């Protein structure tokens, strides 16, 4: 039975899928390079639950690698050829693994099949009702919302999400139900390896310009993703985003839009802001399905919740239950996460690393916490992204009183790209548009600066896709 046939049979009860995801690898020896990452660790968990013999390596130990070892994976710290077991059927590498990685080289020299993370994710999804959530922003939160609603509804889903979700006990799970929820990443066109029955496109903007030539190339990639949904499948897409509209032109699957505009099939109406969070009625066509009161701050989460509601209701969750469960959801880790309070100072951490995300997060943090002053410690992620989007980054900090910038987080870029731009360049651009910004040489100097200048009533927001969260923890521990 394929995924769409299962979807047609799914109502308010959830029959088990014919086989647990990952069970096709039962008894197989699978090695994951970069096993500690959110996505890779999720695959490792699914494979273990399906009876595979899992090994893997990562550059440094973490709570994730410890958890996987306790679950039965053979985890090595450091990457070298001898980490690969003698018996080996498959090697999986994350997108961050360079081609010259010694374990990759060893696998190829031995003639072992080597695939990417997204390829294995697609293989595991193929025999399920695949729910794939794509978009420049909001993928992790919306994927987590969908997984949480399905869990609360008793659907027993499998999910692999690119963030830790406290209410789900982690980032992944191998369930016995028919639904497989996956965050669908556009970098390296990874999401084209998936097999969605129901797909969502939340938004499309310029990003990953180290891989894509321009916005047109990005839209074309999303169009290819949209075409993966079968003719009797479903696309849930942002009805207010012109780039998304371009991407779904002429697709075979049924398209349903979400948003606040009157042209959208799934709409949030009677939207109210109360205490920094939003409440709204969900309308589908001419019917009001019920009211949803989110616990997450930010208007952008109204859009995320609409997409999640549409997907889960189509999978058979009664509307009243879906909206109630969305109202229980408290978020994914590093999404406006309260790290603590000390001496009257609030410390929040967030993953935002794109100009649009920065604007949305700063606005939401101001609405929710209403600080006297908002100190934003932003760690730019990738030199190429910083250079390509420099002007947009500079304008995105209008809601911050002061911006403190550590060095740019170096990942995937070449050494030549590294020399093209610095955090000091971004600080200058922020000042040129009227902001208050300063760059620093390291985390310790920023922490010392905060301790000297922050006062009761202020809020510190650490922000970025790298390891900037360490500043939040250091500030709290040392104050």
Q: Is residue 101 one of the residues assigned to a domain? A: yes
Q: Is residue 12 one of the residues assigned to a domain? A: no
Instruction: Say how far apart CA 203 and CA 189 lie, in whole Å.
Output: 16
Tokens of 450: 């905060």
pLDDT at residue 115 in the model: 95
3-class secondary structure, 181: strand
pLDDT at residue 2 in the model: 44
From first to last of the 479 residues of the chain, give the pLDDT tens digit. Answer: 444 444 444 444 444 444 667 788 999 999 999 999 888 998 999 999 889 999 999 989 998 899 999 999 999 999 999 999 999 999 999 877 888 999 999 999 999 999 999 999 999 998 899 999 999 999 999 999 999 999 999 999 999 998 999 999 888 888 989 999 999 999 889 999 999 999 999 999 998 888 899 999 999 999 999 999 999 999 999 999 999 999 999 999 999 999 999 999 999 999 999 888 999 999 999 999 999 999 999 999 999 999 999 999 999 999 999 999 999 999 999 999 999 999 999 999 999 999 999 999 999 999 999 999 999 999 999 999 999 999 999 999 999 999 999 999 998 778 888 889 999 999 999 999 999 999 999 999 999 999 999 999 999 999 999 999 999 999 999 86
Both 61 and 143 in one domain: the answer is no
Q: Is residue 427 one of the residues assigned to a domain? A: yes
Both 238 and 96 in one domain: the answer is no
Q: Is residue 399 one of the residues assigned to a domain? A: yes
Q: Is residue 436 one of the residues assigned to a domain? A: yes
Both 410 and 373 in one domain: the answer is yes
Domain boundary residue, one of 328, 354, 377: 328
CATH number at residue 392: 3.90.190.20
Residue 358 buriedness (CB in 10 A; 0-12 / 13-18 / 19+): buried
Domain boundary residue, one of 328, 353, 385: 328
Q: Is residue 20 one of the residues assigned to a domain? A: no
Torsion of CA 383, 387, 391, 393, to 10 degrees: -10
Both 353 and 428 in one domain: the answer is yes
Please give the C-alpha separations between residue 188 and each of 133, 351, 397, 410, in angstroms, as whole numbers: 16, 20, 29, 18
Q: Is residue 121 one of the residues assigned to a domain? A: no
CATH number at residue 169: 3.40.1190.10
Both 324 and 347 in one domain: the answer is no
Domain boundary residue, one of 270, 295, 328: 328
Both 63 and 151 in one domain: the answer is no
Instruction: Say how far apart CA 235 and CA 314 lie, in whole Å.
Output: 11
Both 408 and 448 in one domain: the answer is yes
Q: What's this model's pTM, rounded to 2 decimal places?
A: 0.89
| Helices and strands per DSSP (H, E), number in the chain | 17, 21
pLDDT at residue 1 in the model: 42
pLDDT at residue 38 in the model: 81
- Tell me how far the alpha carbon of residue 8 is from its chain's centroid: 28
Both 299 and 347 in one domain: the answer is no
pLDDT at residue 479 in the model: 66
> What domain range is 403 assigned to?
337-478
pLDDT at residue 14 in the model: 43
């Amino acid at each position: 039975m394929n995924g769409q046939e299962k979807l047609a049979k799914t109502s308010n009860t959830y029959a088990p899928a014919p086989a647990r995801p990952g069970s096709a690898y039962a008894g197989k020896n699978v090695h994951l390079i970069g096993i500690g990452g959110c996505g890779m660790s999720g695959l490792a968990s699914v494979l273990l639950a399906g009876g595979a013999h899992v090994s893997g390596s990562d550059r440094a130990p973490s709570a994730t690698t410890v958890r996987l070892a306790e679950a039965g994976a053979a985890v090595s710290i450091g990457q070298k050829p001898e980490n690969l077991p003698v018996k080996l059927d498959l090697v999986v590498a994350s997108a961050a693994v360079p081609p010259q990685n010694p374990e990759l080289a060893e696998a190829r020299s031995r003639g072992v099949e080597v695939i990417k993370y997204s390829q294995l994710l697609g293989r595991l999804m193929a025999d399920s009702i695949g729910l794939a959530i794509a978009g420049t922003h909001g993928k992790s939160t919306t994927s987590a919302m969908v997984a949480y609603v399905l869990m609360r509804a008793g659907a027993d889903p499998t999910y692999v999400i690119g963030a830790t979700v406290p209410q789900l006990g982690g980032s992944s799970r191998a369930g016995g139900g028919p639904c497989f929820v996956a965050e669908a990443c556009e970098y390296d066109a990874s999401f084209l390896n998936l097999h969605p029955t129901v797909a969502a496109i939340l938004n499309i903007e310029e990003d990953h310009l180290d891989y894509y030539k321009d916005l047109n190339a990005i839209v074309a990639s999303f169009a290819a993703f949209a075409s993966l949904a079968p003719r009797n499948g479903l696309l849930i897409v942002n009805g207010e985003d012109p780039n998304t509209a371009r991407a779904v032109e002429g697709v075979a699957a049924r398209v349903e839009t979400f948003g606040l505009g009157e042209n959208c099939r799934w709409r949030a109406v009677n939207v109210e802001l109360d205490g920094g969070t939003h409440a709204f009625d969900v309308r589908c066509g001419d019917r009001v399905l019920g009211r949803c009161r989110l616990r997450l701050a930010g208007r952008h989460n109204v859009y995320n919740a609409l997409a999640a509601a549409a997907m889960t209701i189509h999978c058979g969750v009664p509307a009243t239950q879906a909206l109630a469960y969305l109202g229980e959801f408290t978020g994914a880790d590093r999404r406006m996460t309260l790290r603590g309070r000390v001496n009257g100072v609030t410390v929040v951490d967030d993953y935002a690393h794109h100009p649009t995300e920065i604007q949305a997060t700063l606005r939401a943090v101001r609405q929710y916490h209403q600080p006297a002053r908002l100190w934003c410690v932003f760690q730019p992620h990738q030199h190429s992204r910083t250079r390509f989007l420099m002007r947009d980054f500079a304008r995105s900090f209008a809601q911050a009183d002061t911006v403190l910038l550590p060095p740019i987080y170096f990942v995937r870029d070449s050494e030549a790209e590294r020399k093209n731009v610095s955090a000091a360049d971004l600080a200058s651009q922020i000042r040129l548009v009227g902001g208050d910004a300063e760059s620093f040489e390291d985390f310790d100097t920023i922490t010392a600066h905060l301790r000297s200048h922050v006062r009761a009533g202020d809020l510190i927001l650490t922000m970025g896709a790298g390891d900037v969260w360490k500043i939040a923890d250091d500030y709290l521990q040392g104050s």
